[in-house]
């Protein structure tokens, strides 16, 4: 139970993820690691690294720590669009979750973990030169409709179809844009979407 020990021995540095969700994310990543799939691991929306630290701990056990790529605006959330408006209220506003790239670096250093490849950018401005050639595992955690849609459009052409895409906040009433983006993007694609906790687990059908 490698993941159980990684998760239980270490505290979370923010409330951006729960231990239950972490366990689900790491179990799927470990399944893909054991398959030796071609490509890299990406996190789109890394913030201060709450989840990234755990992904890196697992990748280290598999000597894959140099194969981890994380992305964020490091300017917090963008503007909401109409797809993001929620009946449960007005949480999650522009510029919330603002931190610097250095905050993320410090958290990796404090935890004695090798740094992932960190890119500061809005997702719709990223180019393929800033991504690994192929991706077998993606964790998407960027809260809003266009943020998730932009990430999916970007990673899909280079996604290793044997891998896994995990998206946070699926069917979460406060962030309705996430589910809308997933449903729109995958409507004509041959994938299986399962929900575990508030995570969408997307794999080839």
Ligand X SMILES: C[S@@+](CC[C@H](N)C(=O)[O-])C[C@H]1O[C@@H](n2cnc3c(N)ncnc32)[C@H](O)[C@@H]1O
119 forms beta bridges with: 71
| Planar angle of CA 131, 133, 135, nearest 5 degrees | 80
Task: Out of 32, 107, 119, 147, name the contact with ligand X by CB under 6 A.
Answer: 147
Q: Is 47 in the site for ligand X (CB under 6 A)?
A: yes
Do residues 71 and 63 make contact, with C-beta atoms less than 8 angstroms apart? Answer: no
DSSP H/E element including 121: none
Name the percent of the chain in helix, strand, coil, to the closest 5.
40, 20, 40
Nearest-approach distance from CB 190 to ligand X, in angstroms: 27
Q: Is 88 helix (H, G, I), strand (E, B) or coil?
A: coil
Q: Is 141 in the site for ligand X (CB under 6 A)?
A: yes
Give the residue with the Cβ less far from ligand X, 91 or 195: 91
Nearest-approach distance from CB 205 to ligand X, in angstroms: 27
Q: Is 27 in the site for ligand X (CB under 6 A)?
A: no
Nearest-approach distance from CB 196 to ligand X, in angstroms: 17
Contact range with ligand X by CB under 6 A, out of 29-37, 74-82, 179-187, 193-201: 74-82
Contact range with ligand X by CB under 6 A, out of 1-9, 69-77, 105-113, 187-195: 69-77
Nearest-approach distance from CB 62 to ligand X, in angstroms: 20
Give the residue with the Cβ less far from ligand X, 23 or 161: 23
Q: Is 17 in the site for ligand X (CB under 6 A)?
A: yes
Q: Is 76 in the site for ligand X (CB under 6 A)?
A: yes
Q: Is 122 in the site for ligand X (CB under 6 A)?
A: yes
Q: Which residue in the block uniquely carries the two structure tokens 């201060």?
A: 48
Q: Is 78 in the site for ligand X (CB under 6 A)?
A: yes
**Eight-state DSSP code of residue 67:** G
Token couple for 205: 């059908």
- Residues in the chain, how many? 205
Token couple for 198: 């508030």
Q: Is 116 in the site for ligand X (CB under 6 A)?
A: no
Do residues 100 and 74 make contact, with C-beta atoms less than 8 angstroms apart? Answer: yes
Dihedral class, residue 48 (left if φ above 0, else alpha if ψ from -120 to 50, else beta): alpha
Interaction site with ligand X (CB under 6 A): 14, 16-17, 45-48, 50-51, 72-73, 76-78, 97, 122-123, 141-144, 147, 150
């Amino acid at each position: 139970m490698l993941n159980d020990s990684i998760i239980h021995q270490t505290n979370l540095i923010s409330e951006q993820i729960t231990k239950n969700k972490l366990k689900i994310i790491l179990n799927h990543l470990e399944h893909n690691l054991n398959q030796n799939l071609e490509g890299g691991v990406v996190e789109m929306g890394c913030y201060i690294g709450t989840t990234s630290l755990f992904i890196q701990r697992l990748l280290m056990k598999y000597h894959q720590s140099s194969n981890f790529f994380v992305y964020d605006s490091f300017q917090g959330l963008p503007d909401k669009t109409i797809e993001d408006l929620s009946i449960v209220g007005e949480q999650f506003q522009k510029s919330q979750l603002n931190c610097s790239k250095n905050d993320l670096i410090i958290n990796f250093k404090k935890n004695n973990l090798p740094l992932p490849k960190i890119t500061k950018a809005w997702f719709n401005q990223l180019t393929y030169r800033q991504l690994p050639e192929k991706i077998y595992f993606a964790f998407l955690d960027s809260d809003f409709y266009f943020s998730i849609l932009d990430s999916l459009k970007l990673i899909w052409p280079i996604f290793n179809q044997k891998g896994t895409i995990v998206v946070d906040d699926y069917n979460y009433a406060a962030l309705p844009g996430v589910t809308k983006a997933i449903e729109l993007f995958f409507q004509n694609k041959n994938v299986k979407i399962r929900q575990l906790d508030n995570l969408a687990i997307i794999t080839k059908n």
